[in-house]
Amino acid sequence: MLPTHVDAEITSQPATWRQAAELLPTVAGALPAPGERVAVVGCGTSWFIAMSYAVLREGAGHGVTDAFVGSEYPGSREYDRVVAISRSGTTTEIVELLAALRPAATTLITAVEGSPAAAVAAATIELPFADERSVVQTRFATTTLALLRAHLGDDIDAVARDGEEALAIPLDGLAAAEQVTFLGRGWTVGLAYEAALKTREAAQFWAEAYPGMDYRHGPIAIAQPGRLVWSLGPAPEGLPDEVSATGATYVEHDLDPQAGLIVAQRFAVALAKERGLDPDRPRALTRSVILA
């Protein structure tokens, strides 16, 4: 199969992460100030990025940060700012939520200028250089995370260097697996959910995801020879051995977990190609979900 849009978009991530970090000084005023109570919302991939950022921000001591899928925002809670992540700016749940929250302090992070979500957000940060032609999101999501991590003080150049390494890691026989379960801890739980969504979207592949400590509480029953248990970041102590004892293959890369996600994205695309699927145009999916 010919190279796809998603191949090029995956490869460009270290560069778009650096671009996001360079953009930070011009957009930082629209991002949550330390001490603000913040909710972060998104749908699909954007929700998983919201989850990762929420854990990172709270862990950095910047204040209470909750993540919600757009449809489940708890109207009973008070936040100082709501950050919405939407590549397209057209996702119905996000447009409706931002409209309902007016005139509250809301910030939309998007790839597209002049969208319906931008029309109802109090502030908008545009990352047009991270927009994508593939329906499956890769670089918009991770570039948003790079911007948010830069704002928390993370060294994005170091993450990008790990990203370059991740692009060169051989996938070996991984794409011959029958099933994969991704695990994460803390901020990488969102990355594990995202890795699993990528493999489902791009390759219609059986992928699950859990917080690493919860994996023993049932999901480990799925592990067997021919299946993968793939940790984004270090797994809980002892778990790799317990996985190996089932005959499943334990996978972990010694990289910043955001860079490790690149290996999982490449795995998803490799699976899709192996199955004769076009990862740019997944079955039953559209660029965004726009409800009547």
Distance (Å) of CA 29 to CA 55, 133, 239: 21, 29, 42
44 binds ligand F1P (CB under 6 A): yes
199 lines the binding site for ligand F1P (CB under 6 A): no
Regarding 45 and contact with ligand F1P (CB under 6 A), the answer is yes
* Contact of 208 with 255, CB cutoff 8 Å: no
Kindly report the backbone phi and psi dihedral angles of residue 168, in degrees, each rounded to the nearest multiple of 5, phi listed first. -105, -5
Measure Cα distances from 37 to 42, 48, 65, 256 in Å.
17, 19, 6, 27
Find the binder of ligand F1P among 118, 135, 160, 235 (CB under 6 A). 135
State the nearest-atom distance from the C-beta of 119 to ligand F1P, in Å. Answer: 15
207, β-bridge pairs:
180
Q: Which is nearer to ligand F1P, 111 or 220 (CB)?
A: 111
Q: Pseudo-torsion of CA 170, 175, 177, 182, nearest 10°?
A: 70
- Regarding 87 and contact with ligand F1P (CB under 6 A), the answer is yes
Residue number with CB closer to ligand F1P (31 or 255):
31
Beta bridge partners of 69: 42
111 vs 239 by CB, closer to ligand F1P: 111
**Quick one: which of 27, 39, 43, 189 contacts ligand F1P (CB under 6 A)?**
43
Closest approach, Cβ 112 to ligand F1P, in A, equals 8
**Residue 47: which residues within 8 A CB-CB, separation 6 or more?**
41, 67, 68, 69, 70, 85
Burial class (CB in 10 A: 0-12, 13-18, 19+), 180: buried
User: Is residue 142 close enough to count as binding ligand F1P by CB under 6 A?
Assistant: no
**Applying CB under 6 A, which of residues 88, 107, 181, 199 lies at the interface with ligand F1P?**
88
Q: 167: burial class by Cβ within 10 Å (0-12, 13-18, 19+)?
A: middle
Which is nearer to ligand F1P, 91 or 181 (by Cβ)?
91
In the bound state with ligand F1P, the residue whose beta carbon lies nearer, of 92 and 246, is: 92
Q: Is 137 in the site for ligand F1P (CB under 6 A)?
A: yes
Residue ranges that bind ligand F1P, judged by CB under 6 A? 43-46, 86-88, 91, 94, 135, 137, 201, 285, 287-289
